[in-house]
Amino acid sequence: MSGSDLTRRELMEAAVVTSGALVGGQLMPGAIPPAAAQGAGAAPAPLGVALRVNGTEHRLTLDPRTTLLDALREHLHLTGSKKGCGLGQCGACTVLMDGKRVKSCLSLAALVEGREITTIEGLAQGDELHPLQVAFIERDAFQCGYCTSGQIMAGVACIKEGHAGSAQEIRDWMSGNLCRCGAYDHIVAAIQDAARATGAVRGG
């Protein structure tokens, strides 16, 4: 990052000041000097951000408040990660960060520089689908498909974390990903198939 870019500390301070000014303005009218209130309402300066996504580095100029999800969808046009609740509750936006699952709607893009981000678009190896993608197709583990990319990314992490030993264990560790169509039995079966195919668990 260049010297003109915000540091992590400055970015967090700006977020706290902006949110605090909003709440303070509602609860204690007149407590904020007019000049400070005017500054708090101004849009923050654009920020240079380097994101490494699916093995490729991308240099973007973003509003510091841009979430990782919006950076992926609106700036990199990787629309496989879906925008659902925007609150980290549905899991439709799940991606892998350094191999671990995260809700991209809750992560600021400016704070994930240097991390390896993997989206559903980067899961396959060329034309060869990931074993869990294959299992989702074979098990018909989706209906409307809106949650599918998040389910698959969370499922890949679930297997890698060693939490695919039983159907109940999978259900417990996949509880952060919701399927409004109710295809949970098929999703669990697909994860079990992929876990066996990758040698993560043994069984017939």
Mean pLDDT of all residues in 22-27: 42
CATH 3.40.50.2300 matches 48-122: no
pLDDT digits (tens, 9 = 90+) for 42-57: 788 999 999 999 999 9
| In the block, residue with structure tokens 């195919």 | 197
Mean pLDDT of all residues in 133-139: 98
pLDDT digits (tens, 9 = 90+) for 59-109: 999 999 999 999 999 999 999 999 999 999 999 999 999 999 999 999 999
pLDDT of residue 162: 97
Cβ neighbors of 131 (< 8 A, separation 6 or more) are 193, 194, 197, 198
pLDDT of residue 43: 82
By mean pLDDT, which of 34-38, 86-90, 111-115 is the weakest? 34-38
pLDDT digits (tens, 9 = 90+) for 5-16: 556 555 555 554
pTM: 0.79
Are 117 and 56 in contact by the 8 Å Cβ rule? The answer is: no
Residue 103's DSSP bridge partners are 94
Q: Is 105 exposed, middle or buried (0-12, 13-18, 19+ CB in 10 A)?
A: buried
Higher pLDDT, 95 or 20: 95
CATH number of 131-197: 1.10.150.120
200: confidence class by pLDDT, cuts 50, 70, 90: confident
Are 48-122 and 131-197 equal in CATH topology? no
151: confidence class by pLDDT, cuts 50, 70, 90: very high
Helices 8-27 and 34-41: crossing angle in degrees, nearest 10, is: 120
pLDDT of residue 34: 53
**What is the domain partition of the chain in residue ranges?**
1-45, 48-122, 131-197
